[in-house]
Chain A
Amino acid sequence: MFGHSGSSRSRVALAGALSAGLIFSLAACGGDKSDDTSGSTDTSASGIDCAQFTQFGDLKGKTVSVYTGIVTPEDTPQKKSYEPFEKCTGVTIKYEGDKSFETQILVRAKAGNPPDLAYVPQPGLLQQLVATGKAVEAPKEVADNTDKWFGKDWKAYGTVDGKFYAAPLGANVKSLVWYSPKEFTEKGYTVPTTLDELKTLSDKIAATGSKPWCAGIGSGDATGWPVTDWVEDFMLRLNGVDAYDKWVKHETPFNSPEDIAAWDAVGSYLKNDKYVNGGLGDIKSIASTTFQDAGLQILEGTCSLHRQASFYAANFPKGTKIAEDGDIYAFYLPGKDASSKPVLGGGEFVLAFADRPEVKAFQYFLSTDTWANLKAKASSGWVSANKGLKIENLTNPIDALSAKILQDPNAQFRFDGSDQMPAAVGSNAFWKQATAWITGQDTQTTVNNIEAAWPKK
């Protein structure tokens, strides 16, 4: 049945197999070393104060791995903004961008193979990651920086069970409505300052026979999330920040009257045949249009208004003039009255899975105003809630607008609610039910279903 293994032939084969394996593995080992030649010691060219990193000791030749969902083309300014740090300290930043970061990071953390640092875009995910037991608390230097440069609310989002884990990185403003300043001037529309004015404006545009709003909630596996932003924005506006906080923490049920009022208010826009869906179809077409495509209808002239976050600027084709007097610009989605200014937004947080000095040093660097301004100069379509960020460093008008909204003393900033809810709701039931709601399901059933999905405990 099996060959006689005592023969000399099999021994030769064994020796061959073993040596082949060794050669192969040595070759593989040699390949790994090729990119290990970093560490120019020239610190003068970096333009930042290198002395601030001496507190972390000599870091030369060390490597910090960063894992994030920020991919091409936005990763280029990220990497560029790390160069001064790399020059100062001799640390190499190993940057790994992955579109499926949000699912893979959990897998990696649970499997015991996390990166040194992860840019976590959702407080809910942050809590899940901390729950794996692999995350490391932020060092004191980073906590001090966060106290100094960020608002209390931002620090709270990076805090789990009273322990501070992650400092904020970037931010985005979600309470924006994209429009065409050109069209507004031509047709004599004015930017609304209250919710009532927004409604009047929508009616005015609808009266001309055109559909004022265009919307799309398609996002592959994540289809439905843009509706959650709408609902959160109206939750904030109709019920105030306190009610919003309770709603997010599930201290009030998801099918409470306040919540239903918010959904219905959203429905008066998104499920209104007269208002949607400019250039795209009927109400149901919102579900099948990707969120990236929907706002482009403004350029086509088939719709006038599109509610989407500041990062939507990247979706307009090259050559589109995004400015207050250009083809495209955005206005702040107004509050109930002109005096209240709730702002819905999002952002990423830097979570560490290692506490080596070089990792701490890089975390420290990212939480400084130095980095925020470096990054601002290097990029377009990016803002931070860092108070040290100078608005004049932001080249893109939308970034400047977002930073102004974030730094407005009257602004009541609240983080994206669905990003803070448990995954079963925030990234599953809420999305799914919102999609069903757009395609015809009534509000009561929708909120009841989401309430039922809330983890019992």
Chain B
Amino acid sequence: MLAALLLFAAVMGVILFFASRVRGKRADNWVGYLYLLPVVLLLAVGLVYPGLRTVYESFFDAQGSSFIGVDNYKTILTDKDQLQVLGNTIIWVLLVPPFATGIGLIYAILVDKSRFESLAKALVFLPMAISMVAAGVIWKFVYEYRVDQPNVKQIGLLNQIFVWLGGKPVNLLITDGGVWHLNTLLLIVVFIWIQCGFAMTILSAAIKAIPDEIIEAARLDGVNPWSMFFKITLPSVRTTIVVVLTTLAIGTLKVFDVVRTMTGGNFKTSVIANEFYSQLIRADNQGLAAALAVVLFILVIPIIVYNIRQVRQEA
């Protein structure tokens, strides 16, 4: 600890010392580069090198000892279990961002300028303050199942409601339901529940940033609420929606805690990040884990590129 702090102080000292010595025409620029140096170094050590190393390792076998070419990628694209993982991840990314953003947007508009706005917003924002693991545990109880027998009481909220309505309890988290992927959908609900608050907060801020003159002008022109939404609000917050959608998409691709806490990736609910963890830690298959990480990275790239382009166009 002491050594690390001394090292930090020493490095900063050296940089500042050299910075104070720089003279000449382009001194300002040189000082700038000097200040950037530690950041660049840390990024290289902490991000670029591990990233490249991961790509490198993805071409090796489980122990990381012998080169096996693209076999790990072949496994991801052909193995039945791995395809299930990819498929689930796609379902997640297709469903979470639009639903979370949509619900967040509608909610933001509905509570905008209402009397209980801050309270209403706080309620939706609260799940954001709960860790995903805790959210997973909470919802696991909501989905909990007990057998339909005398003297056995349901402890899961959802199944209790089923029973009150005269239905039979369903073992929700292990029911895959064939093409419906019921359990995966139930996990997605949890993630949407967490992320709505984020979407709502950002979008609400964007809605509030719409200049009052525009809204007043529209009102004077006598637009109805629908036109107001589609012709004024939506276009005004379009960039924000893109940012929220893409941020959520990236977050969804990385989803791990919810799946791991609630099903551990069993019963056909695994996703890439969870599978990556299982392969690295449980199965001790470094190569396949690295390949999964690379796949995740590749999937994120287009979203980030799109995000940046949108923001640039706007600016």
Physical interaction between A and B:
yes
**Closest chain B residue, CB of each to CB of A128:** B284
Q: CA of A24 to CA of B9 in the docked complex: distance in angstroms?
A: 11
B residues in contact with A4, CB < 8 Å: 28, 31
A224 and B266 within 8 A (CB):
yes
B283 and A427 within 8 A (CB):
yes
B: which residues have CB within 8 A of A? 1-2, 5-6, 8-9, 12-13, 16, 19-20, 22, 28-29, 31-32, 35, 62, 81, 145-149, 151-152, 171, 173-174, 260-261, 264-267, 278-279, 281-285
A: which residues have CB within 8 A of B? 1-2, 4-6, 10-11, 14, 17-18, 21-22, 24-26, 28-29, 32, 103, 106, 128, 220-224, 277, 279-282, 284-285, 287-288, 300, 302, 422-424, 427-429, 432, 435, 439, 453, 455
Q: CA of A267 to CA of B36 in the docked complex: distance in angstroms?
A: 64
Given the known A-B contacts A427-B283, A428-B282, A455-B62, are A223 and B9 also in contact in the complex, defined by CB atoms under 8 Å?
no
A residues in contact with B267, CB < 8 Å: 287, 435, 439
- Name the distance in Å between B64's Cβ and chain A's nearest Cβ: 10
Q: CA of A404 to CA of B6 in the docked complex: distance in angstroms?
A: 59
Main secondary structure of the interface of A (DSSP, over half): helix
Some 29 contacts from A to B, beta carbons below 8 A apart, are: A4-B31, A5-B16, A5-B19, A6-B20, A21-B6, A25-B1, A25-B5, A26-B2, A28-B5, A32-B1, A106-B281, A106-B284, A220-B261, A221-B264, A221-B278, A222-B264, A277-B147, A282-B171, A288-B171, A300-B151, A302-B149, A422-B284, A423-B282, A423-B284, A424-B283, A432-B266, A435-B266, A439-B267, A455-B62
B residues in contact with A22, CB < 8 Å: 5-6, 9
- Name the distance in Å between A290's Cβ and chain B's nearest Cβ: 11
B171 and A279 within 8 A (CB):
no
Q: CA of A328 to CA of B198 in the docked complex: distance in angstroms?
A: 51
3 closest Cβ pairs, A-B complex: A25-B5, A281-B147, A423-B284
B266 and A284 within 8 A (CB):
no
B residues in contact with A302, CB < 8 Å: 149, 151-152
Q: CA of A26 to CA of B9 in the docked complex: distance in angstroms?
A: 13
- Name the distance in Å between A425's Cβ and chain B's nearest Cβ: 8
Given the known A-B contacts A428-B283, A432-B266, are A2 and B28 also in contact in the complex, defined by CB atoms under 8 Å?
yes
Q: CA of A106 to CA of B63 in the docked complex: distance in angstroms?
A: 13
Q: CA of A128 to CA of B9 in the docked complex: distance in angstroms?
A: 39
A residues in contact with B19, CB < 8 Å: 5
Given the known A-B contacts A11-B20, A285-B147, A288-B173, are A17 and B9 also in contact in the complex, defined by CB atoms under 8 Å?
yes
Given the known A-B contacts A1-B32, A17-B12, A455-B62, are A24 and B264 also in contact in the complex, defined by CB atoms under 8 Å?
no
